[in-house]
Structure formats: C-alpha cells, structure tokens
Structure 1
Amino acid sequence: MYLPEELELRLDAESAATGVSKAALIRRGITELLDNSSRLRRNRPLPVFNSGRSLTPEEMADATYEHIEERAARR
C-alpha cells in the first residue's frame, strides 16, 4: 500500500489503540467517504412492461434486451 509516512504512522497507532486491523480501518474510511459523498448517485429505474397480459420468460427477456438496445442507441 502506498500511504504517506505520516498517514501510515497514524493508521498504525489507531489500529494498535482500537484493536481494529488496518485493513478494516481503511475499508471503514472508504465506506464513510463514499456514503457521505455529495456526488449524485446514478439510480436508474428498472424498465416497466405493461402489455396487458403476462409475458413468458422468453418474451420478457426479449423485451428487456430490446429496451437496453434502444437506450444504448440514444447515447
């Protein structure tokens, strides 16, 4: 891992003081950073199909792929 020496020393000290592994502290820090990020998250809604009748699994798969291809073509 490539951390500046000061951060490495602080991480070692925190790990020793808390009994939490350095890896767990790093994962916790990354999770907190990402959870608190103000960057917009890209939550895309799932496609909705309303054909008025139940689709077979094959028809549903075909409709899903068709929808994906249409969205990709618009980009």
Structure 2
Amino acid sequence: MVKTTVYLPEELEIRLDAEAAATGVSKAELIRRGIAMVLESSQRPRNVRPLPVFNSGRSRTPEELDEDLYQQIKERAARR
C-alpha cells in the first residue's frame, strides 16, 4: 500500500470517527472503500489498451512474455 495524506473538514472527520466506532471498521478502510466506490461509478471513459500481441518477429523468453502480461494487467487494475 501507499500512504497518502488527506485533509478533511472537521464535520467529515467527526462523522468518519463515529462510523468507524459504530461499525468496527478502521477510518482508513472506510476511506479506501469510499474512494473505490467513487472510482467504480465514474463515467470517465477508460483508456484500455489491447493486450500485447506476441508476434513481434523476434523470439521472446517466457519471462519476457510474463512481464509484458503482468504490466498490462497492473495498468488495467490501476484504472479500476
């Protein structure tokens, strides 16, 4: 995970504290869930590149193929 600092208005901080206490879910988890909800409902078009085609005319090792696929999957996951 990556640490990020977020500044909240006092009213949101109070409500967040109350929700965390009432549900037993950490404030950090509630914030993560809220961000995920916003991103999932976003209407912004996603730039999805097709998976790489492995007919480049040169031989590639299985490790190179795995790395390319891993990078593509990682990029797509970051946009979700």
Q: Same fold (TM over 0.5)?
A: yes
Mark the CA change 1:50 to 1:56 in structure 2 (over 3 Å): closer, same or farther. closer
| Structure of larger gyration radius | 1
Q: 1:10 corresponds to which residue?
A: 15
Report 1 or 2 for greater relative contact order, CA contacts < 8 Å, sequence distance ≥ 6.
Answer: 2
Q: 2:75 corresponds to which residue?
A: none
- The runs of at least 4 consecutive aligned structure 1 residues that moved more than 6 Å come to none
Q: 2:60 corresponds to which residue?
A: 57
Q: 1:73 corresponds to which residue?
A: none
Q: Output the aligned Cα RMSD.
A: 2.3
Which residue of 27, 39, 48 corresponds with 1:43?
Answer: 48
Q: 1:33 corresponds to which residue?
A: 38
Q: Tell me the amino acid that sits aligned with residue 38 of structure 1.
A: Q
Q: 1:65 corresponds to which residue?
A: none
CA distance in 2: counterparts of 1:50 and 1:21, whole angstroms = 48
Size of the aligned set, in residue pairs, is 57
> In proportion to residue count, which structure has more helix?
1
CA distance in 2: counterparts of 1:2 and 1:50, whole angstroms = 48
User: What is the TM-score normalised by the length of structure 2?
Assistant: 0.61
Q: Tell me the amino acid that sits aligned with residue 8 of structure 2.
A: L
Identical aligned residues as a percent:
62
